[in-house]
A and B are shown apart, each in its own frame.
Chain A
Amino acid sequence: MRKMWRNMLLSVSSLALAAGCSSAPTSSPQDQAKPVQAEATAPKQEEKVDLTFFYPVAVGGPLTKIVDDMAEQFNQEHPNIQVKPVYTGSYQDTTTKIQAAVQGKNPPDVAVMLSTELFTMLDMDAVLPLDDFIAKDGGSEYINDFYPGFMANSQTEGKTYSIPFQRSTIVLYYNKDAFREVGLDPEKPPQNWDELVEYSKKLKKDGRWGVEIPTSGFPYWMFQAFALQNGKNLMSEDGKKVYFETPENVEALQLWVDLAKKHQVMPEGVIEWATVPSDFLEGKTAMMYHTTGNLTNVKSNAKFDFGVAYLPAKQNFGSPTGGGNFYMFKGIDESKQEASWKFIRWMTEPERAAQWSIDTGYVATRKSAYETDKMKQYVTEFPAAAVARDQLEFAHAELSTHNNGKVSKAFNDALQSAVTGQSEPAAALKKAQEEADKVLAPFNK
């Protein structure tokens, strides 16, 4: 009887183990089905470095393949390094994954994530400064080749923590055919907020909106463009203060509300990020604010003549930058650090930056990328591709603070609350400001 019990328990525990799959099967009970043979571990090659590389591809689909292929090519060129790319979903998913992995003391070696996660990553003590690697390999010639607008979210207190990779700004897409139809000059997109309203009113008709500005997911990014156009960014450079509640921002938010409620040239309520391009391509909106990351999509799917322009200005032009940078993580050994750096360096070569930009519509991150033959040719054939780059002159850092998740949520909530008519712009911004101040208080001690 006693023996039977022992067997029972053994079989229970062995089942638990066998079901685990990833855990190596241990000694097995006699009468159970034969456990799966442990996979023969591949003979270890000497000094071979394995890297885990987390990346989001916000543009989805086959583009995961582009990154996988790039990693594959890198692996072939560097026999001692084996990069294993892991597609981790959207930017948000990727950030969550990385934070969780860091907390679990098992961070990836290298990753692409939002440039704005810098302060959060520093708070978690998760990322390595890259200055030593830059100094050894490439120096200022390398790092200064990146557009300053893109580097703004990479650096703090004199150190560089990330390298721009998949970067964007917001641009205005407009339907030239619709412009012609209502008697507007298709080569003259709206230059300022007044014209934005005026043109939208003209373009609006049954079944077509004048303009759409997405407000789901991360409305702060869209709003930031308006804040910048009206004079000032939303946060201090050290990420410890935010400036949500300003008369300029109230004015900007009022414009959003008015576009929908007063002028009725934009749909009411929250506008879904993902359906805005569909609306544009289907002719359901004549203009849209969207990421340059959409350029290639619009180019290949628009059945009409379209234009790409700077966002309309108020006091000046302006757009935040956006998108993902390369980070390297703490707690990995030196050989992995070296290998990671090689990978980052390789992935950000001008040729590759150019190709990436052509494939996706993202802005090539380096000036020299625009000097490459293929990029020159591409821009000549398709001048719209240069708009986002040229707008970089007016681009600034994306909203990024300590405790970024909470601060941006407070702000997003406020924006949505105003857009859905639940609170007045001034009141909404005031609330967001108070909330953010509270969250940031510990960092201002």
Chain B
Amino acid sequence: MGKTNIYAWLLLLPSLIFLILFTFYPVLKTLVLSFYQADLGSPEPFFIGMENYQRMMEDDVFWKVLKNNLWFALGTVPTSMALALGMALFANKVLRGKGFVRTAFFYPTVVPMIAVANIWLFIYTPEYGAISQLLQWLGQGQINWLGDQTFVMWAMVIMVIWKEAGYFMIFYLAGLQNISEEMYESASMDGAKPWTVFRRVTFPLLMPTTLFVMVIAVTNSFKLVDHLVIMTKGGPDNASNLLLYYIFETAFSFWDQGMASALTIVMVVLLLLLAAFQFFGLDKKIHYN
């Protein structure tokens, strides 16, 4: 081993220690624990093989939260990304009121989710909330947004899009800055229409940004559960429940540690698969210049 090797590793050591301690070691330990029965009924954990996973497969709630999470991702990721791109294109132009618009879109990013949830809970409340007032004014009836299984997921999706679009916008803004003027100039010389320019120049050149934002957005759609604590606790009847919140319940309300471990492993595998798909599947289609 050369001197550089040692220095390089020493430089990486602090990060590596924390990475191992809080990412790899816990995942391995959790993997082991997922093969054990460790809940309130069994003071001493004992080995049960795949039984936790079997029980999970038979658990309706598990399938429901998984399905919810996929819908939640499908509902939030494409919409917030498309909005973010639109916002960025708009905010990138020199216009009056640009600063205001940019601020309006971005500020939800610096507001804690838990605070957002408080405000939106109020917005969604029947009788008193803003939406209810609007509907009344329009002469419509009440909608019990959070108390109805068909509406609750929509309510969550809308709120999260509001929260996240501005964050993704700045990545697109950064991406737009990196597209050189020449590209546009040559395009306009050809007399291309704005839409064609966007389709042929801007969008393809933004693909790396899109990939990056997508990774964040997808991860977030599995990570964001703070609002459930305030707004619905996953209800009604798990209609708004998400995988991570279910893990939280299983681990800290039911103290079923074996099952919580198994669920965590499923979550990790799912995220890695999604990441692998995004990197190795989509990455090939992107043309870097």
Chain A residues with CB under 8 Å of chain B are: 5, 9, 12, 92, 95-96, 99-100, 103, 120, 123-125, 215-217, 267-272, 275, 278-279, 282, 284, 402-403, 405-406, 409, 412-414, 416-417, 419-420, 422, 442-443
Contact = CB atoms under 8 A, between A and B. Distances in A.
A275 B128 contact: yes
Nearest to B239: A420
Dominant secondary structure of chain B at its interface with chain A: loop
A393 B112 CA distance: 47
A175 B10 CA distance: 73
A269 B256 contact: no
B142 interface: yes
A421 to B, nearest CB: 8
B255 A270 contact: no
Interface in B137-153: 142, 144, 146-149
B41 A96 contact: no
Contacts of A417: 236-237
Interface residues of B, number: 33
A434 B61 CA distance: 14
A416 B235 contact: yes
Contacts of B24: none
B16 to A, nearest CB: 12
A405 B255 contact: yes
A217 B253 contact: no
Nearest to B144: A269
Contacts of B283: none
A442 B255 contact: no
Contacts of B252: 96, 99-100
Contact of B41 (A123, A269, A413, A420): A123
A217 B233 CA distance: 7
B10 A9 contact: yes
B253 A270 contact: no
Interface string B100-142: 0000000000000000000000000111100000000000001
B43 interface: yes
Contacts of B14: 9, 12
Given A272-B147, A420-B237, A124 B40 contact: yes
Given A9-B10, A267-B126, A403-B41, A216 B235 contact: yes
A402 B40 contact: yes
B249 interface: yes
Contacts of B144: 267-270
Contacts of A96: 252-253
B43 A125 contact: yes
B254 A406 contact: yes
A163 B78 CA distance: 54
A420 B41 CA distance: 33
B97 to A, nearest CB: 38
Contacts of B239: 420
Nearest to A412: B235
Contacts of B13: 9
19 contacts: A12-B14, A99-B255, A100-B252, A123-B40, A124-B40, A216-B233, A269-B147, A270-B144, A270-B235, A272-B147, A279-B127, A282-B127, A403-B40, A405-B255, A412-B235, A413-B238, A417-B236, A422-B149, A443-B41
Contacts of A275: 125-128
B166 to A, nearest CB: 29
